[in-house]
Amino acid sequence: MAKLKQLLGVIIGIHLVWWLVAILLNRSILPGPVTVYAAFPSLWQAQIGWHIYFSLYRLFWSLLIATVIGVLTGMAIVRFPRLGRVLDPLIYLTYPIPKIAFLPVAMLLFGLGDLSKIIMISFIVVFQVIISVRDHVAAIPASLYQTFATLDANRWELFRFITWPASITGIISALRIALGTAIATLFFTEVYGTNYGLGYFIMDAWNRLDYPGMYAGIIVISVVAFCLFALLNAIERLTVKWQKDEINA
């Protein structure tokens, strides 16, 4: 209840600042909250539901691909040291590169449709998943594996009770950080080669000088992002509960 009150307080505060700045600026490029929310009914005529659907579709597959590749790679780096000695320097060298610069390459190779957008987002996010999972798995004390080994635990049991729980924490931590990056990349990629997506919707409204519609689109993508973060928090609570149940069992 306290968190809900804090959230409402922040939302009210943001809207008050927005309203005051709009009054002081007094220009069409920054309409006030009342004007923007009055434009919301017209969003349905502009098929905002389809824009949300296509954005979520691209995000889902991008994050799924990045998570699968990132988890397997992050675990392998730690659990198979020889492979780690090859992959670690490669990740270290490629991680700082601004990967959004490869968007024209992705579009040339995979076209202007969804595939190039999904590949681009996955390519950017996967490194964050790899590093987070690798660090969480590497932080597991070797003595814990040794203790389970003395109890005749097989590879599956070592994975199930030691490696996997540590990986879950790393996955959720990585996705929480990567989600913001993924949405920003999604917005950028949806400007090209598509007629659907929240990024396209916002930029199209801007091009048409429809500023209330543009800000309404920004609010929609912000609400979508907030809901996704809330979903990750709910998954984290469930996994923590699951881990506690596994330990108690």
pLDDT tens readout for residues 6-62? 888 888 989 999 999 999 988 888 999 999 999 999 898 889 999 999 999 999 999
Contact status, residue 124 vs residue 103, Cβ threshold 8 Å: no
pLDDT tens readout for residues 66-87? 989 988 898 888 888 888 888 8
- Of 14-18, 101-105, 223-227, the range with the lowest mean pLDDT is 101-105
Contact status, residue 131 vs residue 174, Cβ threshold 8 Å: yes
Question: Is 87 exposed, middle or buried (CB count within 10 Å of its CB: 0-12, 13-18, 19+)?
Answer: middle
Mean pLDDT, to the nearest integer, of 179-193?
87
Q: Residue 76, Cα to own-chain centre: how many angstroms?
A: 23
Contact status, residue 77 vs residue 83, Cβ threshold 8 Å: yes
Q: Domains along the chain?
A: 35-244 (1.10.3720.10)
pLDDT tens readout for residues 201-219? 999 999 999 999 999 999 9
SS3 81: helix
The residue behind tokens 């996705």 is 175
- From residue 166, how far is each of 67, 169, 184, 229 by CA, in Å? 15, 5, 28, 20
pLDDT for position 242: 54
Residue 192 burial (CB count, 10 A)? 15
Alpha carbon distance 119, 106 (integer Å): 8
pLDDT for position 60: 93
SS3 50: helix
pLDDT for position 202: 93
